Structure 1
Amino acid sequence: MDKSSIIGVLLAVTGIIAGLLIEGGSLGQILQPTAAMIVFGGTLGAVMLQFPLPMVLAAFKKFIQVFVGGKRDTDQALKQIIDFANKARRSGIVSLDQELKKITDPFLKQAIMLAVDGTEPSELRKIMEIQIENRAEEEERIPAVFESAGGFSPTIGIIGAVLGLIQVMQHLDKIEEVGKGIAVAFVATIYGVGAANLILLPSAGKLKIRIQEERVYKEMMLEGVVSILEGMNPRMIEIKLQSFLSEDKNRKSPVRA
C-alpha cells in the first residue's frame, strides 16, 4: 500500500469536510447526484473522445497503482542477479538455463534466455532497450489520460453550474428559493475542481513516478545481465548495480551472495 497516497487523500477530504462543517454547512449540501452525473459523465465522455478506448481502459486499470503496488523490491532483484553472476562464473553462462523456471519477471527471464542462447552483449542490450523504450512509450500515455481529465473536469463543472443557474432563473417568482438554488448549482463546480486537483492531476503525477521506477528497475536488470555476459566480476557487478538504487537503498549494506 502507498501510505503517502492514502494519507494524502484522507487529509484532503477530511480538511474540506471539516471546513464545511465548521462554517455551519452539512454534507447534504454537497451531495448532489445530478451534479456528479454532469461532471463525471461529461469528463469521461470528453476523455473518451480524445483517447482510444483501449487506452482509457488501461488508465482505469493503472489507477490502482496510485494506492497499491509501490516500488519494486530492488534488493531482491539485485541479490538474484548476483547469484546468477556467481553461478555463471563457476559453471558458465549456459548453466543459467536451469534458473529460468525460477525467474518470475518476464523481462529478466527473456534477457537471461538471450544470454544463454549466446547473444552478443551489444545485441542483447539493443534488443532489450527497444523493449524498454516501447513499453515506456506506451505507459507514458496513461498519465496523459488523467491530465486531460483534470483539465476537462473544472470546465464541465462550470457547465453544470450554469445549467443549475438556468433552472434557478426560471423560478424567480419564488425568491426565497433562489438563494438555495444558486448554492446547489455551484456544487457541480466543486465536484469538477475537486476531482481535478484532489484525484486526477495528483494521480497523473504519481503514475509518472511509478513508470520511471519501473524503467530504472528494468535498466538495472539489463545492465546486470549484460555484465554477466561480459564476464564481469560479481562484486563489481554489485557495485555497478547499486548506482541504480535510490539514496535510501544505497545506505544499506551491500548484498552478498
Structure 2
Amino acid sequence: MDLATLIGLISGFLFIIIGVSTGSGNVMSFLHPASILIVLGGTIAATFVSFPIKKVLSTFKVVKNVFVNKTFSPNEIIQQIIRLANVARKEGLLALEEAAEDIDDEFLKKGILLIVDGTDPELVRNILETELAFLEERHSQGQGIFEAMGTYSPAFGMIGTLIGLISMLRDISDTSSIGPNMSTALITTFYGTLFANLIFLPISNKLKGKSKEEIILKELMVEGLLSIQAGENPRIIEEKLKTFLAPDVRKTLNNEPEREEA
C-alpha cells in the first residue's frame, strides 16, 4: 500500500473540511450534488470524446497502481544479474536458460533467452529498447488521460458557474436570492479546481514517477544483460550497474554480493 497517496488524499480533504468549518462553520453548505454532477460528468464525457474508449477504460483500471506500492528493489535486481553473470562465466551462456526459469520478471527473462539463442548484442539491445519505448508510451497514455482530466475539470467548473449565474440573473428582481444563487454558482468552480488539483493531476504525476522508476530499472537490466553477454567480470558489472542509482541508494546495496572470480 502506498501510504503517501493515502496520506495526501486524506489530509487534503481533511484540511479543506477544517478550513471550511473554521471559516463558515457550515460544511454541509458546500455539498452540492448538481455541481459535482456537472464537474465529474462533464470531465468524464470530455475524456471519452478525447481518447478511445478502450484506452480510457484500461486507464481507469490502472488507478490501483497509485495506491499500491509496487516496490522495485535495485538491490535484488543487481544481485540477480550478478548471479546470472557468475553462472555464465562458470558454465557458459547456455546455462542461463535453466537459470531463467526461476526469474519472475518477464522482461529480464526475455533478455536472457535472447542471449541464450546467440542473438547479436546490438540486436538484443534494439529489441529490449524497443520494448522499453513502447512500455513508456503505454504508460504515458494513462498519464496523459489523467492530465487531460485535470485540465477539463476546472473548465467544467466554470461552465457550472455560468449556469448558476444565468439562473441568478433570471431572478435578479428578487434581491434576497442573489446571495444564495451566487454562492451556488461559485461552488461548481470550487469542485472543478478541487478535483483537478487534489485528484486528477496528482494521480498523473504519481503515475509518471512510478513509470520513470520502472523504466530506469529495466534500462539497468538491459545494461546488465549486455555485460553478461560480453563476458565481463561480475565485479565490473556490479560497479557499472550502480551508476544507474542515486548515491544514497548505492549505500543500501549489499557490500558483499554473491560474486565469483573466473
Q: How does 1:1-257 map to 2 (within 5 A)?
A: 1-172=1-172, 174-252=174-252, 253-254=254-255, 256-257=257-258
Q: Percent identity?
A: 37
Q: Is the 8 A contact 1:71 1:210 kept in 2?
A: no
* CA distance in 1: counterparts of 2:41 and 2:98, whole angstroms: 53
**1:184 to 1:25, Cα distance in 2 relative to 1, 3 A:** farther
Letter in 2 for 1:225: L
3-state SS, counterpart of residue 217 of structure 1: helix
* Worse-matched range after superposition: 198-207 or 2-11: 2-11
3-state SS, counterpart of residue 153 of structure 1: helix
**1:201 to 1:124, Cα distance in 2 relative to 1, 3 A:** same
1:11 positional shift: 2.4
1:224 positional shift: 0.9
TM-score normalised by length of structure 1: 0.93
* CA distance in 1: counterparts of 2:115 and 2:52, whole angstroms: 37
Letter in 2 for 1:256: P
Q: Which runs of 5+ in 2 are unaligned?
A: none
Letter in 2 for 1:191: Y
1:138 positional shift: 2.2
3-state SS, counterpart of residue 62 of structure 2: helix
Give a deviation string over 1:190-223, Cα, whole Å, max 9, x none: 1101111111112212211111111111111111
3-state SS, counterpart of residue 59 of structure 1: helix
1:43 positional shift: 0.7
1:70 positional shift: 4.2
Kindly tell me the number of residue pairs found equivalent between the two proteins.
Answer: 257
Q: Which runs of 5+ in 1 are unaligned?
A: none
Q: Is the 8 A contact 1:36 1:188 kept in 2?
A: yes
* CA distance in 1: counterparts of 2:47 and 2:178, whole angstroms: 34
* Worse-matched range after superposition: 67-76 or 195-204: 67-76
Give a deviation string over 1:19-43, Cα, whole Å, max 9, x none: 1001133221121111111101101
1:164 positional shift: 2.0
Letter in 2 for 1:25: G
Q: Is the 8 A contact 1:71 1:213 kept in 2?
A: no
3-state SS, counterpart of residue 140 of structure 1: helix
Give a deviation string over 1:136-179, Cα, whole Å, max 9, x none: 12221221111111111111001112212323333445543332
3-state SS, counterpart of residue 43 of structure 2: helix
